[in-house]
Amino acid sequence: MQRAVLITGSSSGIGLAAAMALHQRGYHVFAACRKKEDVERMNQLGMQGIQLDLDDSMSVQSAAELVLSLTGGRLYGLFNNGGFGLYGELQSISRQQLERQFSTNLFGTHELTLRLLPSMLKSGEGRIIQTSSVLGFISTAGRGAYAASKHALEGWSDALRLELFGTGLHVSLIEPGPITTNFTQNVEQAQTGKTVSNPGIAKRFTLTPEDVVPKIIHALESPTPKLRYRVTMVTHVMALMKRLLPSRCLDALLRKN
């Protein structure tokens, strides 16, 4: 039986690369996008386009119901990849802006997962994967709102993994680091005239969305998927530094970059 996978944030970057690769691999791919034109593009590419705005509870409910209907309640994989970045010093970010950052990056993911989870539990097998970030375990000046949402996503994912132990469902996190996508161009800057940009050194270690795909495939298909998949050199190095360096030393390093 063809396995069905729902991927959020499929219009570009990691989501699109994953959707294309899994479609070619024989999966029934439900490619969720926020814009109607992107949904139609997914249909033209041979996948099942689904309209989904994670910041809209009604949209989440409609998308979940449609996926369950089209799969007969047999969804195998959920790749929670959708999200956006809000950059700027925390003192410049309003409560409403922070709520919207969490609404898309965490609350929408939570609601979508909970609407799909009962049918996945009935199947007794499945995979739930989240796209986190190197900012899911460190934080930097100017990226506090985004980092907070990804830290929360990591904590949520860890708890979900523990709660689903023994059900046949596995939960994994993807921690990419610098990837050549439209994410940076689409970042919402909270401070006019004070743009937060990635440090120049990150460009030396930037990979492509296609470099993330093998990690996603392993998380979907391995009998023992990893809890975390670190993709770029930046993510691996920062994870090591986080573990080994005193916090003040790490702070000094992050202030420099």
Positions of the chain with pLDDT under 70: 1, 182, 184-185, 199-203
Active site residue 27: no
Q: What is the pLDDT of residue 200?
A: 59
Q: What is the pLDDT of residue 205?
A: 78
Q: What is the pLDDT of residue 199?
A: 66
3-state secondary structure string, the chain? CCCEEEECCCCCHHHHHHHHHHHHCCCEEEEEECCHHHHHHHHHCCCEEEECCCCCHHHHHHHHHHHHHHHCCCEEEEEECCCCCEECCHHHCCHHHHHHHHHHHHHHHHHHHHHHHHHHHHHCCEEEEEECCHHHCCCCCCCHHHHHHHHHHHHHHHHHHHHCCCCCEEEEEEECCCECCCHHHHCEECCCCCCCCCCHHHHHHCECHHHCHHHHHHHHHCCCCCCEEECCHHHHHHHHHHHHCCHHHHHHHHHHC
Domains, the chain, in order of start with CATH, read 4-256 (3.40.50.720)
| Residue of 27, 76, 87, 146 marked catalytic | 146
Q: What is the pLDDT of residue 208?
A: 94
